[in-house]
Structure 1
Amino acid sequence: MDRNVDAASRMISVVVITRNTRDLLLGLLRSVHQDRNVLAETEEIIVVDNGSSDGTAEAVGHEFREVQVIRNEGNAGFAAAVNQAWRKARGEMILLLNSDTRLIKGELLPLIRFMVENPSVGVAGPALVYEDMAPQRSFASIPSLIQEIVPRFLLELLSPDRHGGKTWGSREPEPVDSLIGAALVIRRRVLEAVGGFDERFFFFLEETDFCKRVRQSGSQVIFFPSARIVHYQGKTVGANWAKGRIEYNISLDKFIRKHHGRLYHGVFRAVRAAKTVLSVIGSTVIFPLMLFNRSMRRRYGYHVRLLVWYVKGCGDTGGLRE
C-alpha cells in the first residue's frame, strides 16, 4: 500500500444515514466489510437511524456489533443526521454514503489516496453507476434561473462538463460546482470550517448548498471518475415519489432564497409556478389518455399537488416531513 495512504491509516469514519431501508443498509455494510482496502483505513462506522420502523437498528446490531448506531425518535432530516454523525466521529475524513449504495471492491482506495495527497480538496465524489455499470449523474451545476428558462438538453449540449453529470470526458479528477450526495469523501476540517450541513434543508440540495459553501471557503470540490460506486437511485424515497418531488421543490426554493436576492428569488419562483400551471393545463387536456397510463396519472397528480403547494405559499408542508 502507498506510504501516504499508510500515513492516513484509520483516518476514515464511514457515515450512513437511513430511514426504513434495512435491507439496503445491510447490503451496503456488507460491501464495506468485503472491501479490505477501505476497511483497513476505517476508524469506525456510524449509522444514523432517522426513526425507522422496520427493525433497522436491531438488524444492524445483530449482524454488525462494531457499528455505532445513533437512533433518532423521528425523522430529523438528512442534513441534521449528517451533522450528528460527523460531530461524533473521530476520523479526519468522512466517507458519507447513502444507504442505497454499494461499494465495488477495490474502487474507492484511489479516491482515498487522492484525498490524502491533495489537502486543498475539501470534498470529492466517485462516479455513480447503476447495477449494470451504466453511468448516473454524479455531479451537478448550481440551480439557477437560466436552467428554468433554457431546456436541459441545450445546456448539456453547450456545456456538458458543467451540466451533463453523466458524460465523463476523461478519467482524470476535475473540479465541479457540486456533487451528487450519494457518496462523498469530506475532510473533517472543512466540515468544521463551514459549519457542517445546513439543517434547513430537510432532504435534497443539502449537498449542493454544502459544496457551494466549501468552494466559497477556498477548498476544491472534485469529481473523481476513476472510482465508481453502485447507487440504487431512488430506493430511499421509494413509494413516496410525489412527496419526494414536493420536498425537492421546498429545498430548491430555500436554496434560491438563501443564495440570491429577493428579486431573483421572486422571479425564479414565478417561473417555476408558471411552468407548473402549464403542466397541469396540458395534462388536463390529454386527461383521457391518462386512464391507460399509470405513469402519466402519477405525474399529473404530482403537478396538481405542486400547484397547491405554490397556492399555499410554498411552505414546508406536503413533502417528506409528513
Structure 2
Amino acid sequence: MEQPTTKGAATVADVMAAAPSPVSDLSEVAIVVLNYNGAHFLRQFLPGVLAHAGGARVVVADNASTDDSLGLLRADFPAVEVLAFTGNLGFCEGYNQALARLDSPYFVLLNSDVAVQPGWLPPLYELLRDNPRIAAAQPKILAHDNPTLFEYAGAGGGYLDELGYPFCRGRLFDTLETDRGQYDDPRPVAWASGACCLVRAAAWRALGGFEPAFFAHMEEIDFCWRAQNAGYEIWYHGGGTVHHVGGGTLPKTNPHKTYLNFRNGLALLFKNTAPGELAGFFILRVLLDWVAGLRFLVAGSWPEARAVGQAHLHFVLRLGYWRRRRKLARPRLLASQRPGTYRGSIVWAYFGQGKKRFLQLSDIN
C-alpha cells in the first residue's frame, strides 16, 4: 500500500495562519455525483454545481436509473460527463467503479441532493493541495430545508466514540444545533461525510476505495478510519458551505437503512479497531445494539427491531469475509491515538448524562 508523504502533520494553527490563496483554477478536481433515479435532484441542484465548479470537471455516474435522468443530462447538461452503469451498483461500488475511470488528482464525492454555495470548494482544495498527509476533507454541511441548522450527515465534521458510534460537531443523535459560526474552524476529525467531501486520488487508490460489501451507509467512515490507520489525516474546513436535503435515497425510518447501519456499524468496528481493544469494545457494542433493538420493540417499531437482529445475524454469517477484510485494513491505532475520537460512550453521554451538544463533551482527541 502506498504510504502518505513524510511531510509533518498539518496543524490547525498552520491552516489558520496560511494566507488565502486566490484559487481560480480547479482543473485538478473532478466533482463526481452518483445518481440513481434522481432526475428531480439533478434538475434542481446540478446548475449550482456547474456555476460554482471553478473549472473542475463535473461527472455524473448513473446507477442504471429508470427515470429520465440520462435523457435530462443529454438534453439540459451537455457539459456534464456521464458514466452510465448497466446495473445499480450501490453507493460503494458505484463510486469505486466511477473513480477508477477518472485520472484527476482530486475527487469530490457529492450527493445529488446537495446545493453548493459560492466558494464551497477552494478551501478544501487548498487544504489538500498544501498538506499531502490529508486524505479527505469536508465542508460545513447545513440542512437544505432549514439552513440555520446543521445537517445530520456530516454537520461540522465527523467524530467517533470508542465503540465506533458516529456523531458530529453540530449533531448528536437527533439533536441538531443552530449554526452560529461555532464550528467554522478547520480541524482534524475522524471522518468526512460522503454527502460532500474532497478526496486525494492517491490515497483513495492506495486504500482500495470504499468497502464494497457495505453497499451504502458508513462507507465513508470506514474509508476514513482505514486512512488514519495508514497514516493519513482527515479534516473538516468550515470555510466552505453546502446544504444537504438528506434522506434522498432512503428515508430515515426505513428498515433497510436501519439494517445497513447496524450491520455496517459492526463491520466498521471489527475491521478497524486496534487488536488490544477489539474484544472489549466489540462486546459492549453488541450489547448496546441489542438495547437499541429493544427500544424499537417497546416503541412498536417491529420492522426496525427485526432489522437489528438481521444485521447481527448476517454479520456473523459473513464473519470469515470480515476477518479477511480486517487483515487487509491492518488496524493499529488505539482510540486514544485517533483524532476525532471521544474516549467514552456517546450513547451513555447523550442518553445517560443528558449531553445534547458537542461542546458539552470532554475527552475528545
Candidates 135, 146, 171, aligned match of 2:150 = 135
Shift of 1:301: 3.2
TM-score, scaled relative to structure 2: 0.69
* Structure 1 CA distance for aligned equivalents of residues 232 and 164 of structure 2: 26
* Structure 2 CA distance for aligned equivalents of residues 315 and 58 of structure 1: 42
* Structure 1 CA distance for aligned equivalents of residues 26 and 315 of structure 2: 51
Shift of 1:181: 1.3
* Structure 1 CA distance for aligned equivalents of residues 98 and 105 of structure 2: 13
Instruction: Tell me the SS of whatever aligns to 2:199.
Output: strand
1:69 aligns with 2:71: no
1:14 aligns with 2:14: no
For structure 1, the 5+ residue unaligned runs are 285-298, 317-322
1:234 aligns with 2:243: no
Q: Per the alignment, do residues 305 and 196 of structure 1 end up closer, same or farther by CA in structure 2, a change over 3 Å counting? A: closer
* Structure 2 CA distance for aligned equivalents of residues 315 and 228 of structure 1: 41
1:164-243 maps to which residues of 2 (within 5 A)?
A: 169-238=182-251, 241-243=254-256
* Structure 2 CA distance for aligned equivalents of residues 3 and 277 of structure 1: 50
State the identity as a percent: 22
* Structure 2 CA distance for aligned equivalents of residues 146 and 198 of structure 1: 16
1:282 aligns with 2:298: yes
* Structure 1 CA distance for aligned equivalents of residues 241 and 104 of structure 2: 22
Verify the 8 A CA contact 2:35 2:62 in the aligned structure 1: yes
* Structure 1 CA distance for aligned equivalents of residues 285 and 252 of structure 2: 27
| Corresponding position of 1:320 | none
Shift of 1:313: 6.5
| Corresponding position of 2:304 | 302
Q: Which has the higher helix share?
A: 1
* Structure 1 CA distance for aligned equivalents of residues 233 and 297 of structure 2: 44
User: What CA deviation, in whole Å up to 9, does each residue of 1:49-85 have, x standing for no partner?
Assistant: 1121112122112211232222223221212111112
Corresponding pairs, count = 287
Verify the 8 A CA contact 1:141 1:163 in the aligned structure 2: no
Instruction: Tell me the SS of whatever aligns to 2:160.
Output: coil
Give, as a single letter, the amino acid of the residue that structure 2 aligns with 1:234: G
Deviates more, 1:110-119 or 1:121-130: 110-119
* Structure 1 CA distance for aligned equivalents of residues 90 and 161 of structure 2: 21
* Structure 1 CA distance for aligned equivalents of residues 230 and 108 of structure 2: 20
| Corresponding position of 2:337 | none
| Corresponding position of 1:34 | 51
* Structure 2 CA distance for aligned equivalents of residues 225 and 55 of structure 1: 35
Candidates 138, 151, 168, aligned match of 1:125 = 138
For structure 2, the 5+ residue unaligned runs are 1-19, 319-365
Verify the 8 A CA contact 1:103 1:229 in the aligned structure 2: yes
Measured on the aligned residues, the alpha-carbon RMSD in Å equals: 3.1
